[in-house]
């Protein structure tokens, strides 16, 4: 029986004469939350500003000093500040879950986002509360896969509480797409 495990190499060629911060080919290979964190530190990003959505991080990405994979690493591998585990990940049910068991985990405090919804959709489904149930139901039924965006105008801003997982994973327009899907497929 053939093994289905593979021991992956974790080394890449370095140019001896080139300083680490200038060895672009090598730096593009850096992987894992801890190493990418150190990489951000090397670029002078303070510890509190290393979220994927922080402007300093986005600026590095635009300057090609950070690859898409490294950006994703920050997105996915954020540690709980209390138990040091990585609480966001894909569960065996194939959905992204927030799994930190610490009751006071800083990541578990429910964030609030404001998103734009087309007026035509809102007119068909007038309601002012329960947006979080519509959003989580839509994410679950889409299994996390983004539904179609709607760019229809005019749009109205609504405020919605979102689970930490969704907060880390989705942009405002993506959350809007899920809510639109949820509203269209209610009942």
Partner 1 sequence: MAKHFGIDFGTTNSAVVVYDDQRKSFTRIGEKGPIPFPSVIAVDNLTQEVSAGQKVKDQIITLREGGMHLVIESVKTILDSDQLWTTPARTWRAGDIASELFRALAQRAEEDNNPPLREAVVAIPIGMNADKRATLRSAADSAGVKVLSFISEPTAAFIAHSGELRHCRYAVVFDWGGGTLDISVLEVKSGCIIERYTAGSPKAGDYIDDLLARWLHSQISETHGLTIGFDNVAPEERHILLNESEKAKRQLQQEDATQAVIELGRYAGLTLVAQTLTKATLNSILEDVVSGALEMLLQCVEAARVSQEEIGRLIVVGGTSQLSLLQRELRQRWPHPNIIFPREADWDIARGAAWVAAHPGCYRMAESIGVVLSDDQFHAIFPVNTKQESARSTLHFGLVEDATTATFNFAARNGDERATHIGELHTPCFGFRDELIELDCHITSDLVFEANADSEAKPQRKRSFKYDMLRWMYEVPGSDISQENP
Binding flag, residue 93, partner 1 (CB under 8 A): no
Residue closer to partner 1 by CB (options 23, 174) is: 23
How far apart are CB 15 and partner 1 at their closest, in Å? 7
How far apart are CB 18 and partner 1 at their closest, in Å? 10
13-52 burial: b if 16+ Cβ within 10 Å, else e: eeeeeeeeeebeeebeebbebeebbebbeebebeeeebeb
End-to-end Cα spacing for the chain? 49
Residue closer to partner 1 by CB (options 20, 112) is: 20
State the DSSP H helix or E strand holding residue 37, giving kind and residue range, or none if neither: helix 33-42
Residue from 5, 11, 47, 145 binding partner 1 (CB under 8 A): 11
Residue closer to partner 1 by CB (options 19, 123) is: 19
How far apart are CB 42 and partner 1 at their closest, in Å? 9
Residue closer to partner 1 by CB (options 16, 62) is: 16
* Bond from prior residue into 154 cis (ω within 30 degrees of 0): yes
Q: Which of residues 33-92 bind partner 1 (CB under 8 A)?
A: 34-35, 38-39
How far apart are CB 88 and partner 1 at their closest, in Å? 19
The answer to whether 121 touches 156, Cβ cutoff 8 Å, is no
User: Alpha-carbon distance 146 to 132, whole Å?
Assistant: 17
Binding flag, residue 8, partner 1 (CB under 8 A): yes
User: Alpha-carbon distance 156 to 116, whole Å?
Assistant: 5
Residue closer to partner 1 by CB (options 8, 93) is: 8
- Provide the 3-class DSSP secondary structure of residue 137: helix
Residue numbers at the binding site for partner 1 (CB under 8 A): 7-16, 19-20, 23, 26, 29-32, 34-35, 38-39
């Amino acid at each position: 029986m053939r093994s289905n495990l593979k021991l992956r190499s974790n080394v890449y060629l370095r140019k001896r004469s080139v300083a680490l911060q200038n060895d672009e080919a090598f730096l593009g290979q850096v992987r894992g939350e801890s190493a990418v964190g150190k990489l951000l530190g090397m670029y002078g990003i303070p510890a509190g500003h290393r979220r994927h959505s922080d402007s300093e991080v986005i600026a590095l990405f635009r300057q090609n000093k950070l690859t898409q994979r490294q950006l994703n690493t920050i997105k996915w591998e954020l540690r709980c500040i209390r138990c040091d585990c990585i609480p966001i990940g894909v569960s065996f049910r194939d959905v992204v879950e927030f799994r930190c068991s610490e009751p006071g985990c800083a990541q578990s405090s429910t964030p609030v986002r404001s998103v734009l919804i087309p007026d035509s959709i809102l007119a068909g489904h007038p309601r002012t509360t329960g947006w979080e149930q519509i959003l989580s139901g839509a994410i679950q039924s889409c299994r996390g896969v983004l539904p179609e965006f709607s760019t229809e105008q005019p749009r109205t801003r609504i405020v919605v509480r979102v689970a930490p997982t969704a907060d880390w994973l989705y942009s405002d327009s993506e959350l809007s797409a899920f809510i639109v899907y949820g509203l269209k497929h209610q009942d």
